[in-house]
Chain A
Amino acid sequence: MHGLINRSIQNFVCDSYGPANWAEAARLAGLEFTEFEAMLSYPDTITPAVLDAVCDVLDRPREEVLEDVGTYLVSHPTYEAVRRLLRFGGVNFSDFLHSLDDLPARARLALADLELPGIELREHADGQFSLLCEAPVAGYGHLMMGVLRVMADDYGALVLLDHTGSAGGVETLTIMVVEADYSAGRSFDLGARA
């Protein structure tokens, strides 16, 4: 798994619960180090082990932790780049939802060795969508739910999100866009200077 993903989990725990909790989780997961390098790769088995350890240390279920990781990824100032890169996907929330199918390809454009799980958007009746998330690490759908919740706010859309379970390694979210222009949302300046 790409270091960026592992590092995100590390940063989430450090920023939200303090370095001591992270150090404990790293020890529990059997890591021989405490710092993931964002630009290096790690064996795939590490990520689930780290997540299990984090859940143990925080005494919280994995789905909750992952949803919080998702929220953290698009709302914490450290990860402003992620929010901005996602905003390039569309001019409004439903446009953004349709760009999610391209998310793994967009991620690869940024970093050739960053492999994100496949996602597929299905559009149903007006404003109703389901998002099928491949979940090589159980709970990935919950992480996406955290991401979508923040992005909806970012676009100023009022949406209802639900995780409707998993089957065959695919987790499904249902998305109902109640009102596309519910609030002003956050501004997005295409050419903002970093």
Chain B
Amino acid sequence: MTDLLENAAVLDVLCPMHLVLTPTGHIHHAGPTIQKLRPDTPLAGQRFLEAFAVKRPRTIRGMDDLRRAADIKLHLEFHDAPRTEFKGVLVPLPDGRMIVNLSFGISILDGVRDYSLTNADFAATDLAIEMLYLMEAKTAAMEASRRLNLRLQGAKIAAEEQAFTDTLTGLKNRRALNTVLERLIATREAFAVMHIDLDYFKAVNDTLGHAAGDHVLQVVARAMVEETRRTDMVARVGGDEFTVVLQDVNSDDVLRRVGQRIINRLEEPIQFDGEVCKISASIGTVWIQGGQKLTMENILADADVALYASKHAGRACQTFYTPDLRDAPANGTPPPGRGVARG
């Protein structure tokens, strides 16, 4: 090894970021690349621990500590700016001298940028160039993937926005309901909104499982479509909540009959896997005479108030909204979480 050192060119090629230290801890020779980082000040002649700070192990304070830290990984940095960080390893020689070999480690990209290094500054066997290649290639690939993800996400949002169907029941969904309501409100037509909440449905789900629950919802959906007119719209707006919009309603009698037919149909026992599911429905209805200036939020809130009046009246019935329902202490306000803001 000592022979090799006499010919500094060998280490300069193999480890261009090495330093040879004298027994007193002075830098005797610096490899070409490490010297390139400090073009204006020769490293040779400086005290190693004055040019470099040892960050880890933290116990290293002087050259004696350093000499004992042979063969372990050192974390170092330049004392003065730019305070480039290095990984290093120290090997003591029999004659008291030491060799410290440095590398940029994870800060390779900063190092290459800060000092405009080229391929020639790294040993031919050093993986630094491959590392830089990989970082650049992966960054480009990630960027392309990110753009694809953004496009796909945009397409997904667009598709969802265009979707007006509840996939489980085939009924319209809340988005479709909103669209229809906005249109009816804008044209100030007469129409009615029935808010229907299934009774005892939770028991079906809890005792017979979600498959049974899903089956019931599908049967219920079919029944509602059959008991309403083709021009009416049935939407599933929550787990077991439905809203029917009826247009061209001339009297509340019609609404009463439709509501009763729906309740009667839903009370017919539903078979599932040898089990019988029994449910019913509570309905809150708002009849909007034409020409009124309304908001969708108000209409749905009124329907909610009427629905909870039905629930309080013992379920399985229909209530028409009237403003005094809001004054009745029992139904004053819907329970928390069941207000109009419900999504």
Contact = CB atoms under 8 A, between A and B. Distances in A.
Interface residues on B, range: 20 to 34
A31 interface: no
Contact of A110 (B113, B120, B129, B140): B140
Given A88-B136, A110-B137, A189 B116 contact: yes
A54 to B, nearest CB: 22
Interface stretch (B30-38, B83-91, B141-149, B329-337): B141-149
B133 interface: yes
A81 B133 CA distance: 10
A4 B143 CA distance: 13
B168 interface: no
Interface string A162-194: 000000000000000000000000000111011
Classify the interface of chain B: helix, strand, loop or mixed.
Answer: helix
B133 A39 contact: no
Contacts of B132: 88, 190-191
B2 interface: no
B117 interface: yes
Nearest to B116: A189
Interface in B255-279: none
A110 B145 contact: no
Contacts of A91: 118-120
Contact of B134 (A4, A109, A194): A109
A85 B134 CA distance: 9
Interface residues on A, range: 20 to 34
Given A189-B116, A190-B112, A190-B117, A106 B133 contact: yes
B139 interface: yes
B120 A39 contact: no
A191 B117 contact: yes
Contact of B118 (A38, A40, A190, A194): A190
Contacts of A38: 144, 148
Contacts of A27: none
Interface string B102-123: 0000000111110011111000
Given A39-B148, A91-B119, A81 B129 contact: no
21 contacts: A37-B151, A38-B148, A39-B141, A81-B140, A85-B136, A88-B129, A88-B130, A88-B132, A90-B119, A91-B119, A91-B120, A109-B133, A109-B137, A111-B137, A189-B116, A190-B118, A190-B119, A191-B109, A191-B110, A191-B117, A194-B139
Interface of B: 109-113, 116-120, 129-130, 132-134, 136-141, 144-145, 148, 151
Task: Enumerate the 3 nearest inter-chain pairs by beta-carbon distance, A residue then B residue, closest first.
Answer: A110-B137, A191-B112, A191-B113
Interface of A: 4, 37-40, 81, 84-85, 88, 90-91, 106, 109-111, 189-191, 193-194
